[in-house]
Each structure stands twice: as C-alpha cells, then as structure tokens.
C-alpha cells in the first residue's frame, strides 16, 4: 500500500505526463467476432503509462438471459469502462464473469463487477490470493494513475470444467495448465468461439513467468481438437485457423531445445540471451524482450537438470 501512496505522489509531481492521459480513457471498442460474441483487443506491447496496461484481450458473450464476461482487464478503471462499453451493446444484465488465469492484466478489473459471480479455477483463486497484491503494486509502478483505486479481488466462485447452458449458449469450460498452474479456456459450442486466455499469444511473443513448457504443449494439442470457428487469444489479433496454435507450440519447442542445449554446453544466462532467434518468430512483437525474460524465468531449471545428471 505504501508503494501506491509514494507512486501517487510521484505521479502528481509529474504533471505534464499525467495531463497527457488526463481522461484515463482506454477507449474500449467492442468488436463483434462471431454471433453474440465481442472482444476488446489490447495492444501487443509491454505495460506502460502510455497504454495504461491495456495490453490484453477481454470479451463477452450476449446470451438470451444476459452477458457472460471473459476476463476483466488490468485495472478498476478498465473494468468500469468495460461495463459501460458492454451496456452500449446490450442492456441485458451481466450473469457471470469467468477469469482465464491469475495474471494481473486479466483480473484486476474485478472490482467493477462487484456483486456478480466471478468464476475461476481453484488454482487461479489460490494464486490470486497469494500473488495478487504484489502484482497490483507492480502495476501501479508501471502504469501509474491508470491504476487508481485498484485492489486485487479474488474470484468468488470455483469453477469445475464441464458444460453449462446459459441463455441458449452451450458453453464448455476447459481446465488446463501450462501457461500458469490454472488456465481456463472457454469454448462456445453454439457459436464456435474459443477464448484461450494466455494459452495462445498471437503475433505477440508469449510470456513465461509461471510456465511449464511440457504441460503447455499438451494443452495446446488438446485445444487444437476443438472445432472452433474463431480463436480469441489472450494477446494479439483473433485467428480463424490453427496457425496461431502451431506458432505457440513451435516457439515453446524451440525454447525447450535451445535451453536444454545451452545448459549442456554450459552457457550462462547472458550468453543464452545473446543467442540468435530463428526468423520464423520475427513476426511476433517483443520477441527479444520476452525471450530474455524467459531465460530468467526458466533457464535455472535446465541448469539444475544438468547438474543432477552430472551427479
């Protein structure tokens, strides 16, 4: 909390910067991707004051009984603006919210949905309880006043994977892991919309702070079996085919092979970070930045595996 007070003071001293985004308007524009289904597409950038943390895709499904929301965005302001944008599309009530996973850009808008059931996998709820406050402090430091009033609020309902029928939509809740310990995806059998959360990044390099590569690869193989018409990734543009899934799998496999070889060759983290990255991945935003971060997240485990074998 102290961090937030200090940060608020710092921001009030940086007046020209604060004036730039005086409105703190994310300009959320719902884009229809398939029948009854809308997304708010974020930028394929890092968190900055300029984007206010809007680097994420969220969405909603308008059923005959009401609205199902998928993820709530990076801040209270985002959640509030999301609700307003939804109300411009439909006056139906919001029935429930599903959170895909516990990363801050996906759930810190929860406060704006107070009183509405917020569903997540049990692993996600535990992780938000453990890490949510730290995530929130970090985002205050990175995006400043966009975060005003934001607190980490845990989901209120544990969801079990399975099919639910909501207002004429047959919605399948899928429980996975790999990007984090609890990754929820939503497949609407009625429309063919597949919300993958961060199991799929499209044209934006994936992030790995809580990743398990072998589980993630298994999960993508399972996701690929769903007969979807439109895939809404956690970050980047929608996709109408399985190419985005293959791209993520290819990159994960390349990381795995490259880190394994580097550890066997005794490379340091800095040496590994300097390795060339294949051209096939160059269409993904933030490639160099995220690759370096993945080295810091994952490489120690590969090094430990080599030490174990040596013993």
Element (H, E) at 96: strand 94-98
Q: How far is the CB of 120 from Zn ion (least distance, A)?
A: 13
Q: Which residues pair with 174 in a beta bridge?
A: 185
CB nearer to Zn ion: give 267 or 295: 295
**Long-range contacts of residues 216-222, Cβ cutoff 8 Å, at least 24 apart:** 216/177, 216/178, 216/179, 216/248, 216/252, 217/178, 217/249, 217/252, 217/253, 218/178, 219/176, 219/177, 219/178, 219/179, 219/183, 220/178, 220/245, 220/248, 220/249, 220/252, 221/249, 222/174, 222/176
Q: Give the three-state DSSP class for 119.
A: strand
User: Interface residues with Zn ion (CB under 5 A)?
Assistant: 103, 198
Element (H, E) at 284: none
Q: Which of 39, 68, 57 is nearest to 101 (CA)?
A: 57
CB nearer to Zn ion: give 188 or 198: 198
Q: Which residues pair with 267 in a beta bridge?
A: none
CB nearer to Zn ion: give 198 or 290: 198
Decide if 123 contacts 155 (C-beta within 8 A): no
Q: How far is the CB of 234 from Zn ion (least distance, A)?
A: 6
Q: How far is the CB of 173 from Zn ion (least distance, A)?
A: 18
CB nearer to Zn ion: give 123 or 198: 198
Q: How far is the CB of 2 from Zn ion (least distance, A)?
A: 27
CB nearer to Zn ion: give 101 or 169: 101
Q: How far is the CB of 62 from Zn ion (least distance, A)?
A: 26
Q: Which of 283, 261, 281, 287 is nearest to 272 (CA)?
A: 261
Q: How far is the CB of 201 from Zn ion (least distance, A)?
A: 9
CB nearer to Zn ion: give 271 or 289: 289
CB nearer to Zn ion: give 145 or 247: 247
Q: How far is the CB of 179 from Zn ion (least distance, A)?
A: 6
- The Cα 99–Cα 58 span in angstroms is 10
């Amino acid at each position: 909390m102290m961090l937030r007070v200090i940060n608020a003071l710092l921001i009030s001293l940086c007046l020209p910067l604060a004036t730039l985004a005086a409105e703190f308007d994310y300009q959320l524009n719902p884009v229809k991707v398939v029948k009854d289904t809308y997304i708010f597409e974020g930028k394929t950038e890092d968190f900055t004051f300029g984007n206010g943390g809007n680097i994420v895709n969220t969405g909603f499904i308008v059923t005959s009984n009401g609205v199902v929301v998928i993820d709530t965005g990076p801040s209270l302001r985002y959640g509030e603006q999301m609700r307003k944008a939804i109300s411009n599309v439909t006056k139906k009530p919001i029935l429930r919210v599903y959170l895909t996973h516990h990363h801050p850009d996906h759930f810190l808008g929860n406060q704006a949905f107070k009183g509405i059931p917020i569903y997540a996998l049990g692993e996600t709820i535990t992780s938000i309880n453990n890490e949510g406050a730290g995530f929130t402090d970090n985002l205050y430091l990175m995006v400043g006043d966009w975060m005003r009033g934001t607190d980490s609020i845990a989901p209120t309902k544990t969801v079990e994977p399975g099919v639910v029928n909501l207002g004429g939509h047959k919605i399948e809740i899928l429980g996975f892991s790999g990007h984090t310990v609890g990754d929820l995806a939503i497949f609407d059998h009625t429309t063919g919309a597949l919300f993958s959360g961060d199991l799929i990044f499209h044209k934006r390099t994936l992030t790995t702070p809580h990743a398990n590569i072998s589980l993630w690869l298994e999960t993508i193989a399972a996701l690929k079996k769903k007969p979807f018409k439109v895939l809404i990734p956690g970050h980047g543009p929608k996709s109408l085919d399985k190419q985005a899934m293959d791209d993520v799998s290819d990159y994960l496999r390349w990381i795995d092979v490259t880190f394994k070889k580097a550890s066997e060759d005794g490379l340091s983290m800095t040496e590994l970070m300097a390795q060339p990255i294949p051209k096939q991945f160059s269409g993904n935003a933030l490639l160099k930045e995220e690759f370096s971060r993945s080295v810091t997240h994952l490489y120690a485990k590969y090094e430990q595996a080599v030490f174990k074998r040596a013993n």
